[in-house]
Structure 1
Amino acid sequence: MTTFTWLAAAGVIIIVALAAYAYMLWKKVLAREAEQRAVAADRNQRLEGDIIILANSLLEGQLPLIEGSIRIKVLLDNYYGPRRADLDVTVFERIYDATVHIPTHQGWKDLGKAERQLHEQQMETLERDHREEIFSAAKNISRGLGK
Structure 2
Amino acid sequence: MSEAVVYGLIVVGLAVSAGALWFIVRLLGQQKARKEENQRRLEDVATKAQEHRAYLVESLQVIAQTLMNDEMSVIEGSIRCRMLLDNLDPQLCLHDDFAVFSEVYEKTRHIPRLKEWKALKTKQKLPHMQLMDDVENTHKEAILTAAGKLRQHPFDRYH
TM-score range relative to shorter protein: 0.7 to 0.9
Count of residue pairs brought into register by the alignment = 143
Do the aligned partners of residues 4 and 87 (structure 1) sit closer, same or farther apart at CA in structure 2, a change above 3 Å counting?
farther
Find out whether 1:92 has 2:101 as its counterpart. Answer: yes
Quick one: which of 3, 8, 11 aligns to 2:20?
11
Q: Quote the residue 2:118 is aligned against.
A: 109
Please state whether the residue corresponding to 2:156 is helix, strand or coil.
Answer: coil
Contact 1:87 1:141 survives alignment (8 Å): no
Distance 2:14 2:120 in 1: 85
> Any idea what the Cα deviations from partners look like across 1:101-134, whole Å, max 9, x if unmatched?
1112232222233321111111111112222221
User: C-alpha distance in 2, partners of 1:35/1:29?
Assistant: 10
CA-CA distance at 1:87 after TM superposition: 7.1
The percentage of aligned residue pairs carrying the same residue is: 27
TM-score by length of 2: 0.81
Equivalent residue, structure 2, for 1:146: 156
Structure 1 unaligned residues grouped into runs of 5+: none
1: CA distance between counterparts of 2:22 and 2:98? 60
Q: TM-score, structure 1 length as denominator?
A: 0.87
RMSD: 1.8
Of 66, 78, 93, which aligns to 1:69?
Answer: 78
Runs of 4 or more consecutive aligned structure 1 residues displaced over 4 Å after TM superposition: none
Structure with greater helix percent: 2
Provide the residue aligned with 2:59 in structure 1: 50
- Partners of 1:110 and 1:21 lie apart in 2 by 59
Q: Distance in 2 between matches of 1:109 and 1:13?
A: 70
Paired AA for residue 72 in structure 1? C
Q: What secondary structure is seen at the aligned counterpart in 2 of 1:45?
A: helix
Q: Does 1:22 align with 2:21?
A: no
Matching residue of 1:39: 48
Displacement of 1:146 after TM fit? 3.3
1:74 counterpart letter in structure 2:
M
C-alpha distance in 1, partners of 2:25/2:139?
A: 67
Bigger relative contact order, structure 1 or 2 (CA pairs below 8 A, ≥6 apart): 1
Q: Which has the larger radius of gyration?
A: 2
Report the Cα offset of residue 75 of structure 1.
2.0
Q: Distance in 1 between matches of 2:69 and 2:56?
A: 20
Distance across 1 between alignment mates of 2:98 and 2:71 = 20
Deviation at 1:20, TM superposition (A): 1.2
* Change beyond 3 A, Cα 1:68–1:79: same
